[in-house]
Amino acid sequence: MGNSEDTNKNKDEVEKEENKNVLQSTRTVIKRALDRLGYPQEVFELMKEPLRMLTVRIPIRMDDGSIHIFTGFRAQHNDAVGPTKGGVRFHPDVSETEVKALSIWMSLKAGIVDLPYGGGKGGIICDPREMSFPELERLSRGYVRAISQIVGPTKDIPAPDVFTNSQIMAWMMDEYSRIKEFDSPGFITGKPIVLGGSHGRESATAKGVTICIREAAKKKGINLEGARIVIQGFGNAGSFLAKFMHDTGAKVIAISDVYGGLHDPDGLDIDYLLDRRDSFGTVTKLFKDTISNSELLELDCDILVPAAIENQITKENVQKIKAEIIVEAANGPTTIEATEHLNERGVLLVPDVLASAGGVTVSYFEWVQNNQGYYWTEEEVEERLEKVMVSAFDNVYKVATSRKVDMRLAAYMVGVRKMAEASRFRGWI
């Protein structure tokens, strides 16, 4: 018992440290971006923390009759541009620091793809894998009741994130509509289509990553037909991406989940793997011949896509990374030191705040459709997403080349500028 408690304590400490580092490194890059753009220190002071951070305690009756008090958070980073927007994460490792960092990233993403939003984020410390459907419903509704005063279609619009899905969004929308006594589809995005969800939302992040891969490959003169791609993570982002890359004629030579990776230099059978994966994005347990996640990152390939968790490419393994292009579908997979090293080596790294912005873009489309009460076809959504992502990629690439900075710093420069200008015009700074 003593040992397992020690191990848990160490794990908690490591996670706290990692979250702190993620927030710290986001702030470091924001500071660099603001300095490059010539903004004074007070702009950084405004942007280094969310404007609002609500912590809530949610009592839920569990199926066995006991009461469990869950802790949840909602961070609203900056609403100078417009209402804040960002997902709600259900995960045992959710923390205040992580939610803060994620809300800042959402502000940057909104700025990069030029949406009329600021960034927000929410989370509940829980393990949905160990909860029943009715318990999850009670928790989702309880969370909305707890945060209802600070959210709303023109205030702060939640969405799905890790371990939350369209069913959870539907419960949350229903709860909010009951509290406000009018139907409010624009309160939340990522809903089922029959409740005002948008076509193309589920695969939007992967579509956006696919567009970034295609644009990056053009810059590097890599032909995607036959290009070797490695994807870490086989959840929502990773699995749709594997399918899209496979469909473009690229060779997905490795994928992984939390338990390990599968590798075949001749290309994996993606349709088969998609068929066998479970709803948590796991598939490798069905196979004997697996590799570790760290081996997967170091494989010989043309394009590497981390699509799982933070802090995967660090100063410890960056020397062994062989890809020419890295496109970050996950949030925060590469540390600042590793980014600098890759940049020096001429690796083209498309940062998370740009590469994974397809999800929030189609969430915005969903909100627009809800507000106007008129719905678009899948083709219309895809066409608009294509335009937004290509223009965002070009814009960031141009800033990177003209200002001689890496793509991450360039993306942050684009992302903070709109927020800083809106805050200035409002007279906040």
Query: Is-catalytic flag, 121?
Result: yes
Q: By C-beta, is 184 or 293 nearer to ligand NAD?
A: 293
The reply on whether position 359 binds ligand NAD by CB under 6 A is yes
Q: For the segment 298-317, give every residue that binds ligand NAD (CB under 6 A).
A: 307-309
Element (H, E) at 162: none
- Three-point CA angle 136, 138, 141, nearest 5°: 105
Q: 120, 123, 233, 351: which one contacts ligand NAD (CB under 6 A)?
A: 233
The reply on whether position 252 binds ligand NAD by CB under 6 A is no
Please tell me the distance from the alpha carbon of residue 210 to that of residue 213, in angstroms, as a whole number: 5
The reply on whether position 98 binds ligand NAD by CB under 6 A is no
The reply on whether position 162 binds ligand NAD by CB under 6 A is yes
Q: By C-beta, is 160 or 196 nearer to ligand NAD?
A: 160
Binding-residue pattern over the window 255 to 274 for ligand NAD, x denoting contact by CB under 6 A:
-xxx----------------
- How many CB atoms sit inside 10 A of residue 63's CB? 11
Please tell me the distance from the alpha carbon of residue 99 to that of residue 335, in angstroms, as a whole number: 18
Using the structure block, give the residue that is written with the tokens 């948008």.
Answer: 198
For residue 418, give the DSSP letter.
Answer: H
Q: By C-beta, is 151 or 204 nearer to ligand NAD?
A: 204
- Of the candidates 13, 10, 21, 2, the one whose C-alpha atom is nearest the C-alpha of residue 311 is 21
Please tell me the distance from the alpha carbon of residue 134 to that of residue 150, in angstroms, as a whole number: 26
- Read off the amino acid at residue 268: L
Handedness of CA 356, 327, 281, 8 (dihedral sign): negative
For residue 77, give the DSSP letter.
Answer: -
Number of residues that make up the chain: 429
Stretch that binds ligand NAD, among 32-40, 254-262, 369-377, 409-417 (CB under 6 A): 254-262
Q: By C-beta, is 54 or 354 nearer to ligand NAD?
A: 354
The reply on whether position 236 binds ligand NAD by CB under 6 A is yes
Residue 366 in contact with residue 201, Cβ under 8 Å?
yes
The reply on whether position 238 binds ligand NAD by CB under 6 A is yes
- Choose the catalytic residue: 85, 100, 121, 191: 121
- How many CB atoms sit inside 10 A of residue 160's CB? 25
Q: How far is the CB of 110 from ligand NAD (least distance, A)?
A: 12
The reply on whether position 56 binds ligand NAD by CB under 6 A is no
Q: How far is the CB of 107 from ligand NAD (least distance, A)?
A: 14
Q: How far is the CB of 89 from ligand NAD (least distance, A)?
A: 8
Handedness of CA 202, 396, 232, 169 (dihedral sign): negative
- CA distances (Å), origin 163, targets 17, 166, 173, 308, 412: 22, 10, 17, 12, 27
Q: How far is the CB of 356 from ligand NAD (least distance, A)?
A: 4
Residue 361 in contact with residue 388, Cβ under 8 Å?
yes
The reply on whether position 128 binds ligand NAD by CB under 6 A is no
The reply on whether position 282 binds ligand NAD by CB under 6 A is yes
Q: By C-beta, is 285 or 403 nearer to ligand NAD?
A: 285
Please tell me the distance from the alpha carbon of residue 220 to that of residue 182, in angstroms, as a whole number: 52
Q: 205, 210, 335, 369: which one contacts ligand NAD (CB under 6 A)?
A: 205
The reply on whether position 53 binds ligand NAD by CB under 6 A is no
Residue ranges that bind ligand NAD, judged by CB under 6 A: 162, 205, 232-238, 256-258, 281-282, 293, 307-309, 329-331, 356, 359
Return the active site residues.
Answer: 121
